[in-house]
């Protein structure tokens, strides 16, 4: 539901009233109200959470990571895998005592998980401490919903499925000062049988290229060094994704461009050519294959074959033999046999990925795959996953050795894991590089000569200019 009839409907009026509440809170408590916004899951969720923080900053909220300090706690949720949902429910359970101790505490759940009716029903009946639940289409109603909770002490559940216009008038409080996530499109039209995203994010909607360019220009002028363009399938960007890459590449400044994710059925030779031709676009493509077996790919409704997939791999490697690929893989899809799983092991040996992101199949209620018979035990799936990871570990160790002796450009991002005094960053191929250096280098592009390849990262030494 939205705000009541007695609540002003215009956003400026709602902002004014909520800002007034914040001022009154400050007068009573000696400080502004604090909010905790925690985002689970993908980079798109992180971006959404940063926009929520922007909305809250405009009405006088400041921020904390301590639930005991917060007046408002919002969990911005993910619905891709079951363990992500379990973590949210576990955290909500822990907030029950806090709500009993501080009845004024406002608890909210939003995002992909909250867009599902059965999740909202469970929260409504079992987690009475939650005041506000809203899905992915209700962000524009945030002020109205929050005012209802504050002024009328109502529990609000908004699972609207209305596709509103893309909001380009936003403030985003970014958590990272080096890397910025920039959505170029929202939603998905692919309906892979295992995936809930099209149901909770809706159909594809693309931002206009001039809006994306304006945002990137502002970020670059603000000192951001890495721009990550986001979309469930950036290859479906309505205005032409390779053209958008070239447009952003022409912006002056010292920065680099990454993007995710690409759907193989729409990945083109033009995309590969654009990556290789644009100096600021990283020479890396995350191209999720999900399975190395054609029968399983058909059950997944992926709309390509292994042969189709390999055509784009082969084209890229014909142009740049050491071109970097990463991928996503699902282990234990309903009905998968061990021999079919071995086809997936074969494909990772054939492609030589720098890294894989592999997961045991997670049943999602409401998807077509959830209706398939799943006769593979959790134990068996776990064993297959371990087998796959061990295989990839050997591949990574061998394939990363191609960088040893080379000098690469690294964006220093923070402290490393190798030893005290080490920093870590990534090269253009999206591979972690660790090296000894001072913290003054964080946020800068530096040259590192690679001396060692590990099964998870590269190690090197600073090149003195």
Is residue 56 located within the same domain as residue 194?
no
Q: Is residue 308 part of a domain?
A: yes
Q: Which H or E run includes 313?
A: helix 306-319
How many C-alpha atoms does 159 have within 13 Å on its Cβ side?
15
CATH number at residue 180: 3.30.750.210
What's the number of domains the chain is made of?
Answer: 4
At 106, the pLDDT band (50, 70, 90 cuts) reads very high
Evaluate whether 270 touches 262 at the Cβ level (below 8 Å): no
Evaluate whether 49 touches 232 at the Cβ level (below 8 Å): no
Domain boundary among 353, 384, 401: 401
CATH number at residue 414: 2.40.50.140
Share of the chain above pLDDT 90, in %: 91
Residue 191 DSSP SS3: coil
Is residue 28 located within the same domain as residue 131?
yes
CA separation for the pair 50, 219 (Å, rounded) = 14
Is residue 194 located within the same domain as residue 96?
no
Phi, psi of 82 (to 5 degrees): -65, -35
Is residue 182 located within the same domain as residue 317?
no
Is residue 218 located within the same domain as residue 292?
no
Share of the chain above pLDDT 70, in %: 98
CA separation for the pair 353, 292 (Å, rounded) = 13
Residue 35 DSSP SS3: strand
**DSSP code per residue over 223-290:** T--EEEEE-TTGGG-TT-HHHHHHHHHTS-SS-EEEEE---GGG--HHHHHHHHH-TTB-SEEE---B
pLDDT of 325: 98
State how far the alpha carbon of 335 is from the alpha carbons of 8, 166, 217, 231, 357, in Å: 54, 40, 48, 30, 21
CA separation for the pair 225, 188 (Å, rounded) = 28
> Residue 438 sits in which domain range?
404-462
Q: What is the pLDDT of residues 178-199, one digit of tens each?
A: 999 999 999 999 999 999 999 9
CATH number at residue 392: 3.30.750.200
pLDDT of 80: 85
Evaluate whether 448 touches 433 at the Cβ level (below 8 Å): yes
Q: What is the pLDDT of residues 52-78, one digit of tens each?
A: 999 999 999 999 999 999 999 999 999
At 8, the pLDDT band (50, 70, 90 cuts) reads low
Is residue 180 located within the same domain as residue 241?
yes
Q: Is residue 376 part of a domain?
A: yes
Q: Is residue 168 part of a domain?
A: no
Cα dihedral 287, 292, 297, 302 in deg (nearest 10): 10
Is residue 222 located within the same domain as residue 357?
no
Do you find a cis peptide bond into 261, omega within 30 degrees of 0? Answer: yes
Q: Is residue 165 part of a domain?
A: no
CA separation for the pair 11, 93 (Å, rounded) = 33
* Opening angle at CA 354, ends 350 and 356, nearest 5: 85
Q: Does the structure show a pLDDT above 90 at 81? A: no
**Lowest-confidence range among 5-14, 104-113, 246-255?**
5-14
Q: What is the pLDDT of residues 268-301, one digit of tens each?
A: 999 999 999 999 999 999 999 999 999 999 999 9
Q: Is residue 456 part of a domain?
A: yes
Evaluate whether 12 touches 59 at the Cβ level (below 8 Å): no
Q: Is residue 2 part of a domain?
A: no
pLDDT of 161: 81
pLDDT of 64: 97
Domain boundary among 228, 248, 282: 282
Mean pLDDT of the chain: 94
pLDDT of 163: 65
CATH number at residue 17: 3.40.50.280
Is residue 306 located within the same domain as residue 394?
yes
Is residue 275 located within the same domain as residue 363?
no
Domain boundary among 282, 303, 329: 282
Is residue 107 located within the same domain as residue 182?
no
Distance of CA 16 to the CA centre of its chain: 32
Q: Does the structure show a pLDDT above 80 at 5? A: no
At 3, the pLDDT band (50, 70, 90 cuts) reads very low
Compute the 3-state secondary structure of the chain and give helix, strand, coil in percent, each to the nearest 5: 40, 20, 40
CA separation for the pair 222, 318 (Å, rounded) = 38
Q: Is residue 163 part of a domain?
A: no
pLDDT of 7: 47
Q: What is the pLDDT of residues 363-391, one digit of tens each?
A: 999 999 999 999 899 999 999 999 999 99
69: DSSP letter = T
Q: In the predicted model, what is the mean pLDDT of residues 25-43? A: 95
pLDDT of 372: 95
Is residue 69 located within the same domain as residue 153?
yes
Is residue 20 located within the same domain as residue 150?
yes
Q: Is residue 6 part of a domain?
A: no
């Amino acid at each position: 539901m939205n705000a009541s009839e007695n609540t002003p409907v215009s956003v400026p009026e709602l902002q004014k009233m909520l800002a007034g509440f914040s001022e009154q809170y400050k007068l009573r408590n000696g400080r502004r109200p604090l909010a905790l916004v925690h985002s689970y899951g993908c980079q798109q969720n992180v971006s959404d959470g940063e926009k929520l923080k922007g909305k809250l900053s405009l009405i006088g909220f400041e921020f904390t990571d301590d639930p005991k300090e917060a007046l408002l706690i919002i969990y911005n949720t993910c619905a891709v895998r079951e363990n992500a949902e379990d973590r949210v429910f576990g955290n909500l359970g822990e907030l029950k005592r806090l709500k009993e101790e501080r009845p004024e505490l406002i608890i909210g759940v939003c995002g992909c998980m909250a867009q599902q009716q059965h999740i909202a029903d469970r929260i409504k009946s079992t987690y009475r401490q939650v005041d506000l639940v809203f899905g992915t289409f209700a962000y524009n109603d945030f002020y109205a919903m929050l005012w209802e909770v504050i002024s009328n002490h109502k529990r609000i559940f908004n699972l609207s499925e209305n596709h509103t216009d893309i909001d380009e008038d936003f403030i985003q409080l970014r958590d990272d000062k080096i890397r910025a996530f920039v959505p170029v499109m929202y939603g998905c039209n692919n309906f892979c049988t295992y995936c809930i995203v099209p149901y909770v994010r809706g159909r594809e909607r693309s931002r206009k290229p001039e809006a994306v360019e304006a945002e990137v220009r502002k970020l670059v002028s603000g000192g951001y060094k890495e721009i990550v363009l986001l979309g469930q399938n950036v290859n479906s960007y309505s205005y032409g994704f390779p053209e958008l890459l070239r447009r952003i590449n022409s912006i002056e400044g010292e920065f680099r461009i990454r993007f995710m994710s690409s759907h193989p059925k729409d990945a083109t030779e033009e995309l590969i050519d654009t990556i290789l031709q644009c100096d600021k676009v990283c020479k890396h493509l995350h191209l999720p294959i999900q399975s190395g077996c054609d029968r399983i790919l058909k059950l997944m409704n992926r709309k390509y074959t292994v042969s189709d997939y390999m055509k784009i791999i082969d084209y890229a490697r014909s142009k740049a033999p050491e071109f970097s690929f990463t991928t996503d893989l699902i282990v234990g899809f309903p009905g998968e046999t061990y021999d079919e799983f071995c086809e997936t092991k074969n494909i990772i040996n054939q492609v030589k990925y720098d890294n894989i992101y592999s997961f045991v199949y997670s049943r999602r209620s409401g998807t077509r795959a959830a209706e398939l018979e799943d006769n593979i035990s959790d134990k068996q799936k776990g064993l297959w996953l371990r087998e796959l990871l061990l295989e990839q570990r050997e591949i990574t160790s061998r394939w990363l050795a191609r960088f040893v002796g080379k000098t690469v450009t690294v964006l220093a991002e923070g402290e490393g894991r190798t030893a005290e005094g080490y920093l870590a960053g990534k090269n253009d191929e999206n591979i972690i590089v660790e090296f000894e250096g001072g913290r003054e280098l964080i946020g800068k592009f530096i040259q590192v000569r690679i001396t060692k390849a590990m099964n998870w990262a590269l190690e090197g030494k600073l090149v003195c200019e």
